[in-house]
Amino acid sequence: MRRPAIYISMKKTFTDQMSRQVAVDFPPRRIVSLVPSQTELLYALGLAEEVVGITKFCVRPESWFRTKSRVGGTKQVNLQKVAELQPDLIIGNKEENTREQIEALAARFPVWMSDVHGLGSAIGMIRSLGGVAARETEAEALAAEIGRRFQQLEEELRGQSPIRAAYFIWRNPFMVSASGTFIDAMMQQAGLDNVFAHLSRYPEISLEELAAAQPQAILLSSEPYPFREKHMEGFRRACPESAIKLVNGEFFSWFGSRLLDAPAYFRALRGGLDG
């Protein structure tokens, strides 16, 4: 008769990216992820058995989206559903989750928070989360390869003039990504100069303000608002000289393992704009 597996755990304290001390039963065996990009990262780190709960926006990988328990949205977490899963580790993010809900969860469970602003903090998050989840080797390999690919892209773009671009995340009202966002940091990595970098976060703008900014390229993201070709005409009238592109928002805003393929996507996008 085969004996059941016996797991030996111990309390271990980690510092998250918000400088909070988080005591975890290590290694964690029941993980709930409240952030889509970090859910995909946990998959890449080989935590299929450990992850027991995700949000309704955690669509990657598709197999997890179909089979894992869902605990609501990133900003509307169902606290009762989380509690029913009895997590020994919850993974959240400062921007994507609400402070009130995170504090309510942290009063009952270990909650590790990320705070990502650019490529460096994203790579740091991958390494740190790998340590918390007992996947240090896998996380280090992934982080190193992401760094290598972005370094190669930076070398290729060196000496080329950046392309002035506007990045739209919403319509009715129109909203763009400005300074202080991960999207803006990724635009810089892609050799794009954000024409609204003088503004902060996600400001509303008018088409008149867009025309005055004179972008060479207008990027319409697939998320959070799903821009389509039918939305291009208004931008063409406002900026007839600008190139207008539909872009995959996951490569600009997901800060987990998706970064592995982002340099290739940025390279192709930049090549199309140069052409």
Q: What is the pLDDT along the chain (275 residues), one digit of tens a residue?
A: 455 555 566 899 999 999 999 999 999 999 999 999 999 999 999 999 999 999 999 999 999 999 999 999 999 999 999 999 999 999 999 999 999 999 999 999 999 999 999 999 999 999 999 999 999 999 999 999 999 999 999 999 999 999 999 999 999 999 999 999 999 999 999 999 999 999 999 999 999 999 999 999 999 999 999 999 999 999 999 999 999 999 999 999 999 999 999 999 999 999 999 86
Distance CA 44, CA 114 (A): 17
Question: Can you give the length of the chain in residues?
Answer: 275
Pick 160-274's CATH classification: 3.40.50.150, 3.40.50.1980, 3.30.2040.10, 3.30.460.80: 3.40.50.1980
Distance CA 229, CA 100 (A): 38
Whether CATH 3.40.50.1980 fits 10-147: yes
Enumerate the domain spans of the chain: 10-147, 160-274
Q: Do domains 10-147 and 160-274 have the same CATH topology?
A: yes
The answer to whether the predicted template modeling score (pTM) of the entire model surpasses 0.85 is: yes
Distance CA 170, CA 127 (A): 32
Q: List, in order, residues 6 or more apart from 99 with CB less than 8 Å away.
A: none
User: SS3 helix, strand, coil % of the chain, rounded to 5?
Assistant: 40, 20, 40
Can you count the helices (H) and strands (E) in the chain? 11, 12
